[in-house]
Amino acid sequence: MFLKLWDMSYRKLGDMVKFISNKNTDGNATVLFGINIDKFFMPSVANIIGVDLKKYKVVEKYQFACNRMHVGRDERLPISMSTFEYDFIVSPAYDVFEVISSDVLPEYLMLWFRRKEFDRQCWFYTDADVRGGLHLDALKSIEIKVPTIEEQRQFVDQYHSIENKIKVNEQICEKLEATAQALYKHWFVDFEFPNEAGKPYKSSEGKMVWNEELGKEIPERWEVKSLGEVSTCLDFKRRPLSQEERAVKIGTIPYYGAMSIVGYVDEYLYDGDFLLLSEDGANIIDENGYPAIQYVWGKFWLNNHSHIIVGKDFITIQFLYNALLKTNVSDLVTGAAQPKINQQNMNSISILTGTENIHKSFDSLIDQNYKLTKIYKDQNQKLTQLQSLLLSLLSVGEEVSA
């Protein structure tokens, strides 16, 4: 697909939009959203018990909301456009606006807001503000290149075609992961792995023994071990980054965790499969007490709020990932203001392990799932880079192909 941007002219944002402040006076909108630094609306984590939600601002479909308070600190403007079919509310401190120019598509404007160059421009205007806020007049004065409405539509379609491909790949990965988790449950929770005759072990009256630690029967010769016994933590391999390293490597290697990246796994020594287990933060466990973990591979960046884990002997990353996904670790979380799972507590997590042959058979069955997952996720990384390229070239006015 090819797209040419012709006859583009600069126009100030304030000339294309109208800022509005429709309060939730009737109380009909009950869903409260915030905006993350990736420019998406997300459920708010604010405590709203006893809060008068009628003072909050209403956002309708194709309207924008932004938070100008910490642009200097975050080096980006949290801003997003609603695509929801229902109205919702945002903080009274947010700005809400809508497009009033008939020759400007809201979707095109949102793509412009996703450009790194736009965030840098917003950040530039905050230099004189001690709190790092972006003044409303400064936001309104930012100039945006606007092609014809048809060219805007072509660009939006091209961008969204890539976005849709990414979503399809994500759905495939979710199905592959669900299949692996179902097999893990069948073998390591229900104990219906195949016996020597190829029949389900427990249903075929396989020998079970009582385990005091788990308070239930487990297959004969199976053991409960600590995570520290079956894995190695590589936290000590991380080191702080220099400004030069950050400038060169960020954007070329995937990152995980918060945006404030302060460490990385040495790309020459550690270029394989890893598990990342969140160390602290509000979301280190979910409502069921399960830990926040990620299965990653290759070279990557990491912030300083995650543990890096690799398996030992015949205990693989694939097995540990599935085991930890359904392991309640709420009793190991410490700290009230900032929940934390330190390395000692992490290493004490109990893991039920089978025989070496069982593990090897399990890994051989799910190995293809993770190989395919890697292919689709690597493809999504390249597609995401293509999206960034398209956004960067938007202001150039040259031919773009994909």
Q: Indicate the domain borders of the chain.
A: 10-146, 167-381
Read off the tokens for 314. 């015949």
DSSP 391: H
DSSP 162: H
> Which residues have CB under 8 Å from 64's CB, separation 6+?
17, 79, 80, 81, 82, 96, 97, 98, 106, 109, 110, 113
Separation CA 394–CA 70 (nearest Å): 26
How many whole angstroms separate alpha carbon 388 and alpha carbon 72?
22
- Going across the sheet that includes 79-81, the strands are 17-20, 95-99, 64-66, 79-81
Q: Indicate the CATH number of 10-146 among 3.40.190.10, 3.90.220.20, 3.10.129.10, 2.30.42.10.
A: 3.90.220.20
Check whether 395 has a pLDDT greater than 80. Answer: no
pLDDT category at 248 given cuts 50, 70, 90 is low
pLDDT score of 254: 65
Q: What percent of the chain has pLDDT over 70?
A: 84
Residue 368: helix, strand or coil by DSSP? helix
CB neighbour list of residue 106: distance below 8 Å, 6 or more residues apart? 62, 64, 81, 98, 99
Q: Which residues, including other chains, have CB under 8 Å from residue 127's CB and lie 6 or more apart?
A: 72
Question: Which residue in the block uniquely carries the two structure tokens 């992961």?
Answer: 177
pLDDT of residue 253: 64
Confidence of residue 245 (pLDDT cuts 50, 70, 90): low
Q: Which residues of 290-402 form beta strands (DSSP E)?
A: 293-298, 301-302, 306-311, 350-353, 400-401
Stretch among 22-36, 41-55, 373-387 having the lowest mean pLDDT: 41-55
Q: How many residues does the chain have?
A: 402
Compute the average pLDDT of residues 143-168.
95
- Residue 291 DSSP label: B
State the distance between the two ends of the chain, measured CA to CA, in whole angstroms.
6
- Tell me if 10-146 shares its fold with 167-381: yes
Give the Cα separation of 197 and 275 in Å (integer). 34
| pLDDT at position 236 | 64
What are 291-336's pLDDT values in tens digits? Answer: 988 898 877 766 667 888 999 999 999 999 999 998 999 999 987 6
Q: What mean pLDDT is predicted for residues 165-189? A: 97
pLDDT value of position 260: 36
Helices (H), 40-148: 71-74, 106-113, 116-124, 136-141
Q: Which residues pair with 292 in a beta bridge?
A: none
Question: What is the per-residue pLDDT across 256-299, written as a single tens digit (0 to 9) for each?
Answer: 654 333 344 444 344 578 888 888 777 788 888 999 888 988 77
Query: In the 8-state DSSP scheme, what is residue 237?
Result: G
Q: What is the CATH number of domain 167-381?
A: 3.90.220.20
pLDDT of residue 268: 35
65-86 mean pLDDT: 93
* pLDDT band at residue 3 under the 50/70/90 scheme: very low
pLDDT > 60? residue 402: no
Instruction: Yes or no: say if 96 and 125 are a contact pair by the CB < 8 Å rule.
Output: no
**Strand pairing partners for 312?**
none
Which tens digit of pLDDT belongs to each residue from 26-51? 999 989 999 998 999 999 877 778 88
The three-state secondary structure class of 108 is: helix
* Bridge partners of residue 400, in order along the sequence: 3
Q: Identify the pLDDT of residue 319.
A: 97
Average pLDDT value for the chain: 87
Measured CA to CA, the distance from residue 333 to residue 277 in angstroms comes to 13
pLDDT at 279 (0 to 100) = 84
